[in-house]
Amino acid sequence: MDSVLLVRYGEIGLKGKNRPQFEQALVRRIRRALAAWPGVAVYRTPGRVWVEPPPGTDPEPLLESLQRVFGIVAVAPAERVDLHLEAIAAAAARALEAALAARGGAGGVGTGGAPTFKVEARRSNKRFPLTSLDLNRELGSRLLAARPELKVDVQRPQITVHVEVRHDGAYVYARSVPGPGGLPVGVTGRACALLSGGIDSPVAVWMAMKRGLVPICVHFHSPPFTSERAREKVVDLTRVLARWGGPLPLWVVHFTEVQRAIQLECPPELTITLMRRMMFRLAERIAARERALALVTGESLGQVASQTLESIRTISAVATLPVLRPLIGMDKAEIVERARAIGTYDTSVLPYEDCCTLFVPAHPATRPRPEQAEQAEAVRDWEPLLAEALERSERLVVEPAQGP
């Protein structure tokens, strides 16, 4: 028996004349996600993408990888059989049995009633003698004959046995694994994403990727005040994020001298505000080189002193690009839950400090005004320091972490 993975996508089906471009991007992302398996064919038919591994391949690890491809709404492992009613009926029975087993047997798990099902046939091959309705009826009654304890429910069935009749065979499936949704990485453009070693910004980067952005990750480190381990931690976080559509570029910006100047020459209560403004300025310069059209941060509202609305205004006053803040409306608990789900949490909570945790003043200004920041910055010419910070930056290309 041949197994094939049928990929369904939602939103990207709606994009009018951009649609082929979105579908091609999805196919490219799927090919990349499955690059470790040689001989997998990925192709499109109207409204569908198909993944065909070589015969005998265990589909489970492929399914697992596809669950990290943005744009995918669901993947169904389907069986392809010849265009004969008997073969289709046998496959439908196998699909139903597998779905029942996944639910914990014909009685369902503690639900009391027998599970309900329906058959949903789709016939793109009009030469096949039975219509979709014929198939629904014929297969439905055969399945019911084999499993008289089940009930048919065409409105809200618990199990749907799908049959797609195409020219090269019939595809039968009842199990479907959810994908992450969103849009294929790359279809909406590029943005510079400020990635600290904390819990929040990796989640923000992930959410930007989910909406189709390629994140150009930018991390600011201040050796020797911040350790090599803190830098490694950010590389590790980027590796995890790259599993969702990498490899990803990571700029590690040498922030030491800028940081030191702020520390020595500016009022301590403005340290955080001024550091962030400098980060935004540097990120914009990187954005220009990387053809990125926005910045992304892990800021949320009201979490800490630097995330009051006044702070956010004063910090982003230096930006000319739009600043996207995917976490703006999320609670900390929701962010933590997402970080766990995407695999960044365990790395984020490792203790290595970054420059922002190290240099927190005792009494940061919670409502810094832009004029205060400008005045504080007027003590020196920052241009040479910013230029040097960029000069001493490194640009890495981070490959996805391996493993489950």
CA 345/CA 308 separation, integer angstroms: 24
The three-state secondary structure class of 204 is helix
Nearest to 120 by CA among 74, 160, 169, 85: 160
Q: Which CB sits closer to ligand ATP, 136 or 307?
A: 307
Residue 212 CB, shortest distance to ligand ATP, in Å, is 19
Q: Which CB sits closer to ligand ATP, 160 or 256?
A: 256
Q: Exposed/middle/buried for 331, CB within 10 Å: 0-12, 13-18, 19+?
A: exposed
Q: Which does 219 bind (CB under 5 to 8 A by kind): ligand ATP, Mg ion, none?
A: ligand ATP
In the range 194-223, which residues lie near ligand ATP by CB under 6 A?
A: 194-196, 198-201, 218-220
Q: Among the candidate windows 152-160, 173-181, 189-197, 222-230, which touches Mg ion by CB under 5 A?
A: 189-197
Q: Which CB sits closer to Mg ion, 196 or 311?
A: 196
CA 2/CA 53 separation, integer angstroms: 9
Q: Which one among 256, 306, 347, 393 touches ligand ATP, defined by CB under 6 A?
A: 306
DSSP state of 338: H
Residue with token string 């520390």? 263
The reply, when asked if residue 195 is annotated as ligand binding, is yes
Does residue 356 bind ligand ATP (CB under 6 A)? Answer: yes
Q: Which CB sits closer to ligand ATP, 121 or 207?
A: 207
The three-state secondary structure class of 248 is strand
Q: Is 216 left (phi over 0), alpha (psi -120 to 50) or beta?
A: beta
Nearest to 52 by CA among 70, 69, 66: 66
C-alpha to C-alpha distances, 262 to 54, 225, 231, nearest whole angstrom = 59, 14, 21
CA 221/CA 234 separation, integer angstroms: 10
The reply, when asked if residue 307 is annotated as ligand binding, is yes
Size of the site for Mg ion (CB under 5 A): 2
The reply, when asked if residue 220 is annotated as ligand binding, is yes
The reply, when asked if residue 338 is annotated as ligand binding, is no
CA 28/CA 187 separation, integer angstroms: 11
From residue 258 to residue 297, the character string flagging contacts with ligand ATP as x (rule: CB under 6 A) and all else as - is: ---------------------x-----------------x
Q: Which one among 115, 169, 198, 212 touches Mg ion, defined by CB under 5 A?
A: 198
Size of the site for ligand ATP (CB under 6 A): 21
Do 69 and 210 touch, CB atoms closer than 8 A?
no
Residue 199 CB, shortest distance to ligand ATP, in Å, is 5
Name the token pair of 361. Answer: 């003043």
Q: Which CB sits closer to ligand ATP, 143 or 195?
A: 195
Residue 298 CB, shortest distance to ligand ATP, in Å, is 2
Half-sphere exposure of 204 (CA within 13 A, CB side): 30
Q: Which does 199 bind (CB under 5 to 8 A by kind): ligand ATP, Mg ion, none?
A: ligand ATP
Give me the residues that bind ligand ATP (CB under 6 A), please. Answer: 194-196, 198-201, 218-220, 279, 297-299, 303-304, 306-307, 354-356
Give me the residues that bind Mg ion (CB under 5 A), please. Answer: 196, 198
